[in-house]
Amino acid sequence: MSTLRYALSNLRRAIDDPQAQPPCLLITRHTIQFNPAGSYRLDVDELCSGRARNGNARATQRGAGPLSGRVSGRVGSPAFEEWLLLKREQYHRQVLIFLQQLAARYE
């Protein structure tokens, strides 16, 4: 069994996904994504939608599709690594802005 398949199997067991109806994860041979119809919470969705309510950013669509639709490449490829770096920076900036707004409210 490949390392990725083993890790996904462990993840699904850890979150009780095999028993979930509908499952939280949609896994095919080439993609992994959150099921938009599944019962889950993503902190990134909450951050983005909360900032959208404040007029600072657009809300992300929940379960917007597999990563392969956004990045042509494989995990570990230069295209994926560049996408990952950009997303991390984007979310880091959003968290900093949110924390600044929160601190200003409590002042």
Residues 31/68, Cβ–Cβ less than 8 Å: yes
Sequence-separated (6 or more) residues with CB below 8 Å from residue 97 = 51, 56
pTM of structure: 0.53
> What pLDDT was estimated at residue 20?
85
Q: Helix or strand or coil: residue 33?
A: strand
> What pLDDT was estimated at residue 74?
65
> For residues 60 and 11, what is the distance between their CA atoms, to the nearest angstrom?
24
What distances in angstroms separate CA 39 from CA 17, 42, 95, 102, 105, one per listed residue? 10, 10, 24, 28, 32
Residue 55 identity (one-letter amino acid): G
Look up tokens 């951050």; give the residue.
Answer: 47
Whether 69 shows a pLDDT value over 60: the answer reads no
Q: From the CA atom positions of the chain, what is the Rg in Å?
A: 17
- Section 41-69 average pLDDT: 56
DSSP character string of 68-82: GGT--S-TTSHHHHH
